[in-house]
C-alpha cells in the first residue's frame, strides 16, 4: 500500500541481489541523493519497464464501456432488495466507468438519485437528478425524475421551487397530447398528491440544518502563532542539536486547548488493501467497497454521490468543484498514470504529487534548491551546513558572512524565521538517507526513475500542456521525488477517521479508527514522539487538529505519539518498532519507567493465581505474588490457555455476526468462567469478553444485562488507557447509547455528561459522537423518567 506491490518489490530486490558487488557498493556509499538516483536510474532496463507495465495493466483505471451496464444491473438487484447503500455504491462504480454525456452515465446518475432518495439524502438526490439531465437523460423518462425532484424539494422545505417545478411539468404534459392515457393518469395523481403536500407545508416554518456542519468554525485557533501559521500562540518552535526542531508551551495549557490546525500540504487517499484485478478472473468488475468509493480523492470528505474524473475511473470527487481543483493542481498529469501509481504505492504517489504542487510556488526558487540538492549532501542531514544546531529556545542561529553576523533560519523557515505549510517546509523534512538500507534506497530510486520515464513519454506526446521548467528539470524533480519517498517513512502522517461499523439497528456500536489517506503535514511533523503523549490528533477532511490531552506546563515539550502507545504495546515491542521505522531509541518517561519494572508487566496483561487470585510474577516460571501462597505455573502453559480463549471468543463474535445470539452468549459465559481461573479481572481479554456479551444482550433487547457487562468492560478500558483517554470516551459513548435505548434517563444523562467531557478534550465540539450525545440529551430532557426495569 505505502510501498510498491509485492511483485515489483520482489523483482527489484532480486535485481539488486544479482548486481555486481562493485555496483552495490557504489550505490550504498553514494554521498548524495543525486548519485543514488543517477546510478539506480542507469540500471533500469526496457525489460524492467515492460514488467512494471504488465503489473500496472492489472488495474482497471480507464473508462470500460461494458462496466456501466454491469454495475447498473447489479445496483438494480441491490435496490430491489432495499439495500439502498449497496445500490448507491454500485451505481457510483458504473458512473466512474461511463463516458461523459452518454446514456450510461445519465441512467446511472438517475438510478443513484433513487437510492439516495430512500436513504433520505435529499440534497445529494437533487444533485444527481441535475447531473442525469445534464448528461442527456432520455426525454421519455424525465417525468419520473422530475417527480422525485419535487418530493425532495418539498421534504427540504423549498416550496417555491417545488411549486415551480410542478407548473413546469404540467406545461410539459399539456404540450405532449401523445402521452399514453394510463401513464398520464399516474403522473396526474402523483402531481395532485405533491401539490397537496406543498399546500400543507406552505404555512409551516420548518428549519433545516445545513448540509455542512460548523466543524471548521468550531476548530479555529484562538490566537494564531506569528512564527508558525496553523499553530497556536501557546507554542513556540525550538531547535536542539540532538532532537532537532520541536515545539514547547509558552504558557500553561489546559486539556482540550487547540494547539495546531493544519491542512495537509499533500494527501493521497488510501486505495485499500486489494490486489490488482487481472483479466483472467471470472468477473473482472470489482464489486467490493473501498475508500475510493466513499471519500473524495481531493478533500477526503465522506460522500455517497461521487463525481468521477472525465478521463479515468479511479479518481472520484465529492463535487465538480473538487474535481476541477484536483485537475488544475495535479490530476492532469496523474490521470493517464493511474495503474502505474497504484502499482508503485502511496509513497511514490505522494512524492509525485508533492513536486507537482511545488510548481505553483516560486518555480525558480524551487529549482535552485533542487540543483543544490543534486550537488550537495542531503540538506536535512546533521552534517549539512544548512542545519543550525542551537539548544536555546531561539529558533534561529547565527553565522558569520564577510565579517558580519547573520541570523540563519531554522531549516524549513523563510528568511524572516516563519515556518509555513509550503514546499520549502516539506523539502526540509529529514529523509534519513544514511539510515535506510541500500536495497530500500534502490527500490525507491528505480521506482521513481520508472515514473519519470513515463512522465517524460507523456510529456513528449503533449508538450503544449507541460510547463517548460518541468520538462527541462525532470531529472532534478526525480531527485526531489526520491527525497520525498525517503522522507515519508518517518514523516508520513496517517489521516484517520472514527467509524462505527454495523447497522442502525445495532444498539452497541464499536468505534474503530480507520486509515483514510496518507499526507504530509509540515507543522505536525515538528512534534517529537512520546509513548505517553500529552496531545491528541484528529482529522476533519484533510485538516489535522492537535489538542492538549492533559495539562501542559509552561516550557514543557508538546509531544505526539507516532503509533506505538504505552497502553497498546509492550515497551520492548514499542522500542523495536520505533527503532526500525523511525531510527531512534525511545527514552520517553513511559519507556524509562516500564523498563525498570518490565518483569511485572502491565495490569491488563497480567495472569493471576488460580488459588488466591494474587498476581503471578516471574520469567519462564511464574510464581504467586502472595507470601502465603506457593503456587507456580509455566508461562508457556498460560499463554497457550490464553490463545485457546482468544480463539473461542473469535468464534463467539462470528456467531454474533450471524445472529446466533444465544449460542454466542453461552460460549462467552463459558470463556469468562475459564478466564477467572488464570486472568486478572483487569486483563484486556476479560474486557473484550464483557464487551461482546454487552453486544449480545443489547441485540436481544436486554438493556440491563447489556449495561452491566459494558460497565465491566469499561473498568478494564480505564485501567489500560486511563480515565480521560479517547478510548474511555468511545466506551462511555457506547454506554450512553445503551442507557438511552433502555430509556434509563438519569443513568443516560450522567453517562452523556461523562462522555462529552472526555471526547471534548480530544476532538472539540465538532465531533460526530459529541453531536449525537447532545441530540440524545435534548431528547431525554423532554421525557419523563423511566427505569430500565427488571431483566427478563
Within a domain: residue 184?
yes
Per-residue pLDDT tens over the stretch 365-392: 666 666 665 555 544 343 333 332 333 3
Alpha-carbon Rg for the chain, nearest whole angstrom, is 30
Q: What is the pLDDT of residue 391?
A: 33
Q: Crossing angle, helix 571-582 and helix 474-491, to 10 degrees?
A: 170
As a whole number, mean pLDDT of residues 341-347 equals 96
Within a domain: residue 710?
no
Kindly give, in sequence order, each residue whose CB lies less than 8 Å from that of residue 425, ignoring residues fewer than 6 positions away: 265, 412, 419, 522, 523
As a whole number, mean pLDDT of residues 32-52 equals 94
Same structural domain, 118 and 166: yes
Q: Any idea what the CATH number is for the domain that residue 252 is in?
A: 2.170.270.10
Kindly give, in sequence order, each residue whose CB lies less than 8 Å from that of residue 33, ignoring residues fewer than 6 positions away: 373, 374, 378, 431, 433, 479, 482, 483, 486
Same structural domain, 156 and 251: no
Place of cell 444523562: 749
**pLDDT-wise least confident of 212-221, 257-266, 340-349, 593-602:** 212-221
Same structural domain, 152 and 253: no
**pLDDT-wise least confident of 92-96, 130-134, 611-615, 759-763:** 611-615
Q: What is the pLDDT of residue 207?
A: 35
Could you give the percent of the chain with pLDDT greater than 90? 57
Same structural domain, 143 and 179: yes
Q: How many domains does the chain have?
A: 2
Cα–chain center distance at 115? 26
Q: 53: part of which helix (H) or strand (E)?
A: helix 46-56
Same structural domain, 194 and 70: yes
SS (H, E, C) 416-452: CCCECCCHHHHHCCCCCCCCCCHHHHHHHHHHHHHHH
Q: Any idea what the CATH number is for the domain that residue 86 is in?
A: 1.25.40.10
Grouping H, G, I as helix, E, B as strand and the rest as coil, residue 632 is: strand
Per-residue pLDDT tens over the stretch 696-731: 999 998 989 999 999 999 999 999 999 999 999 999
Within a domain: residue 568?
yes
Distance CA 193, CA 204 (A): 18
β-pair partners for 546: 260, 537
Q: What is the pLDDT of residue 194?
A: 54
Within a domain: residue 17?
no
Distance CA 36, CA 31 (A): 8
Within a domain: residue 168?
yes
Per-residue pLDDT tens over the stretch 170-202: 787 666 655 445 455 555 565 555 555 555 554
Same structural domain, 196 and 249: no
β-pair partners for 539: 544
Same structural domain, 198 and 77: yes
The band of 280, judged by pLDDT with boundaries at 50, 70 and 90, is: very low
Distance CA 114, CA 133 (A): 14
Per-residue pLDDT tens over the stretch 400-416: 444 444 444 688 888 88
Same structural domain, 532 and 568: yes
As a whole number, mean pLDDT of residues 100-125 equals 95
The band of 660, judged by pLDDT with boundaries at 50, 70 and 90, is: very high
Within a domain: residue 589?
yes
The band of 359, judged by pLDDT with boundaries at 50, 70 and 90, is: confident
As a whole number, mean pLDDT of residues 509-516 equals 80
Q: In which domain, by residue range, is 83 found? A: 66-202
Q: What is the pLDDT of residue 367?
A: 60
The dihedral built from the CA positions of residue 563, 565, 567 and 569, taken in this order, carries a sign that is positive
Q: What is the pLDDT of residue 234?
A: 94
Within a domain: residue 762?
no
The torsion angles phi and psi of 395, rounded to 5 degrees, stand at: -70, -10
Other beta carbons less than 10 A from residue 264's beta carbon = 24
Q: What is the pLDDT of residue 419?
A: 92
Distance CA 431, CA 484 (A): 7
β-pair partners for 398: 407
Per-residue pLDDT tens over the stretch 764-777: 888 889 989 998 99
Within a domain: residue 130?
yes
Same structural domain, 167 and 72: yes
Per-residue pLDDT tens over the stretch 114-125: 999 999 999 999
As a whole number, mean pLDDT of residues 60-83 equals 94
Same structural domain, 151 and 92: yes
Instruction: Work out the mean pLDDT of the chain and round it to a whole number.
Output: 84
Same structural domain, 233 and 195: no
Same structural domain, 125 and 186: yes
Long-range contacts of 380-387 (CB under 8 A, 24+ apart): 380/411, 380/428, 380/429, 380/430, 380/431, 381/430, 381/431, 381/433, 381/434, 386/411, 386/428, 387/411
Per-residue pLDDT tens over the stretch 417-454: 899 899 989 999 999 999 999 999 999 999 999 999 99
Q: What is the pLDDT of residue 383?
A: 33
pTM as predicted: 0.86
Amino acid at each position: 500500500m505505502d510501498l510498491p506491490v509485492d511483485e515489483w518489490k520482489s523483482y527489484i530486490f532480486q535485481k539488486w541481489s544479482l548486481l555486481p558487488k562493485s555496483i552495490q557498493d557504489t550505490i550504498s556509499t553514494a554521498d548524495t541523493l543525486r548519485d543514488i538516483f543517477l546510478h539506480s536510474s542507469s540500471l533500469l532496463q526496457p525489460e524492467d519497464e515492460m514488467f512494471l507495465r504488465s503489473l500496472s495493466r492489472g488495474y482497471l483505471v480507464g473508462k470500460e464501456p461494458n462496466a456501466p451496464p454491469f454495475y447498473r444491473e447489479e445496483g438494480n438487484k441491490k435496490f430491489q432488495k432495499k439495500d439502498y447503500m449497496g445500490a448507491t455504491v454500485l451505481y457510483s462504480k458504473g458512473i466512474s466507468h461511463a463516458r461523459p454525456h452518454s446514456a450510461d452515465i445519465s441512467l446511472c446518475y438517475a438510478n443513484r438519485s433513487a437510492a439516495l432518495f430512500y436513504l433520505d439524502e435529499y440534497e445529494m438526490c437533487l444533485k444527481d437528478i441535475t447531473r442525469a439531465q445534464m448528461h442527456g437523460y432520455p426525454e421519455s423518462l424525465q417525468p419520473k425524475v422530475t417527480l422525485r425532484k419535487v418530493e425532495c424539494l418539498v421534504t427540504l422545505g423549498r416550496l417555491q421551487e417545488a411549486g415551480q417545478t410542478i407548473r413546469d411539468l404540467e406545461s410539459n404534459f399539456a404540450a405532449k397530447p401523445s402521452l399514453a392515457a394510463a401513464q398520464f393518469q399516474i403522473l396526474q395523481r402523483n402531481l395532485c398528491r405533491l401539490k397537496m403536500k406543498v399546500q400543507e407545508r406552505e404555512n409551516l416554518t420548518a428549519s433545516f440544518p445545513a448540509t455542512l456542519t460548523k466543524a471548521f468554525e468550531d476548530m479555529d485557533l484562538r490566537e494564531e502563532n506569528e512564527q508558525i501559521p496553523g499553530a497556536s500562540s501557546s507554542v513556540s518552535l525550538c531547535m536542539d542539536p540532538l532532537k532537532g526542531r520541536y515545539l514547547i508551551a509558552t504558557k500553561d495549557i489546559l486539556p482540550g486547548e487547540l494547539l495546531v490546525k493544519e491542512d495537509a500540504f499533500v494527501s493521497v487517499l488510501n486505495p485499500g488493501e486489494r490486489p490488482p484485478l487481472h483479466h483472467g478472473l471470472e468477473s473482472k468488475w470489482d464489486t467490493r467497497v473501498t475508500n475510493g468509493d466513499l471519500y473524495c480523492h481531493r478533500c477526503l470528505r465522506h460522500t455517497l454521490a461521487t463525481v468521477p474524473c472525465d478521463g479515468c475511473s479511479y479518481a472520484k470527487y465529492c463535487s465538480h468543484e473538487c474535481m476541477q481543483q484536483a485537475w488544475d493542481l495535479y490530476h492532469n498529469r496523474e490521470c493517464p498514470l493511474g495503474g502505474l501509481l497504484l502499482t508503485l504505492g502511496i509513497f511514490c504517489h505522494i512524492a509525485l504529487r508533492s513536486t507537482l504542487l511545488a510548481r505553483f510556488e516560486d518555480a525558480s526558487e524551487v529549482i535552485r534548491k533542487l540543483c543544490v540538492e543534486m550537488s550537495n549532501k542531503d540538506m536535512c542531514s546533521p552534517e549539512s551546513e544548512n542545519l543550525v544546531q542551537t539548544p536555546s529556545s531561539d529558533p534561529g542561529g547565527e553565522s558569520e558572512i564577510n565579517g558580519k553576523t547573520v541570523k540563519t533560519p531554522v531549516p524549513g523557515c523563510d528568511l524572516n524565521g516563519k515556518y509555513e505549510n509550503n514546499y520549502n517546509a516539506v523539502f526540509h523534512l529529514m529523509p534519513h538517507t544514511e539510515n535506510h538500507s541500500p536495497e530500500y534506497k534502490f527500490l525507491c530510486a528505480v521506482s521513481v526513475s520508472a515514473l519519470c520515464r513515463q512522465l517524460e513519454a507523456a510529456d513528449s506526446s503533449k508538450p503544449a500542456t507541460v510547463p517548460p521548467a518541468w520538462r527541462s528539470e525532470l531529472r532534478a524533480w526525480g531527485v526531489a521525488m526520491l527525497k520525498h519517498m525517503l522522507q515519508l517513512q518517518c514523516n508520513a502522517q496517517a489521516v484517520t477517521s472514527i467509524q462505527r461499523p454495523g447497522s442502525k439497528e445495532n444498539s452497541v456500536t464499536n468505534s474503530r479508527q480507520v486509515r483514510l489517506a496518507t499526507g504530509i503535514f509540515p507543522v505536525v511533523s515538528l512534534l517529537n514522539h512520546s509513548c505517553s503523549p500529552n496531545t491528541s490528533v484528529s482529522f476533519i477532511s484533510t485538516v489535522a487538529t492537535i489538542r492538549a490531552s492533559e495539562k501542559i506546563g509552561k516550557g514543557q515539550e508538546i509531544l505526539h505519539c507516532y503509533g506505538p502507545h504505552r497502553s497498546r504495546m509492550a515497551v520492548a515491542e514499542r522500542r523495536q518498532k520505533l527503532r526500525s521505522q523511525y531510527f531512534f531509541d525511545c527514552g520517553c518517561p513511559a519507556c524509562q519507567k516500564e523498563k525498570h519494572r518490565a518483569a511485572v508487566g502491565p495490569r491488563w496483561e497480567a495472569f493471576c493465581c488460580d488459588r488466591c487470585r494474587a498476581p503471578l510474577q516471574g520469567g519462564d516460571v511464574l510464581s504467586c505474588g502472595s507470601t502465603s501462597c506457593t503456587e507456580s505455573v509455566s508461562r508457556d502453559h498460560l499463554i497457550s490457555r490464553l490463545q485457546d480463549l482468544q480463539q473461542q471468543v473469535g468464534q463467539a463474535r462470528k456467531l454474533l455476526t450471524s445472529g446466533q445470539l444465544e449460542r454466542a452468549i453461552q460460549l462467552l459465559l463459558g470463556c469468562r468462567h475459564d478466564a477467572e481461573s488464570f486472568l486478572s479481572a483487569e486483563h484486556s481479554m476479560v474486557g473484550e469478553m464483557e464487551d461482546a456479551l454487552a453486544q449480545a444482550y443489547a441485540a436481544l433487547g436486554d438493556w440491563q444485562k447489556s449495561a452491566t457487562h459494558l460497565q465491566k468492560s469499561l473498568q478494564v478500558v480505564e485501567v489500560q488507557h486511563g480515565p480521560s483517554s479517547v478510548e474511555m470516551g468511545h466506551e462511555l459513548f457506547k454506554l450512553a447509547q445503551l442507557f438511552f435505548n433502555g430509556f434509563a434517563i438519569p443513568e443516560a444523562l450522567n453517562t452523556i455528561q461523562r462522555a462529552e467531557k472526555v471526547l471534548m478534550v480530544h476532538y472539540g465540539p465538532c465531533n460526530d459522537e459529541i453531536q449525537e450525545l447532545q441530540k440524545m440529551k435534548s431528547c431525554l430532557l423532554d421525557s419523563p423518567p423511566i427505569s430500565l426495569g427488571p431483566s427478563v
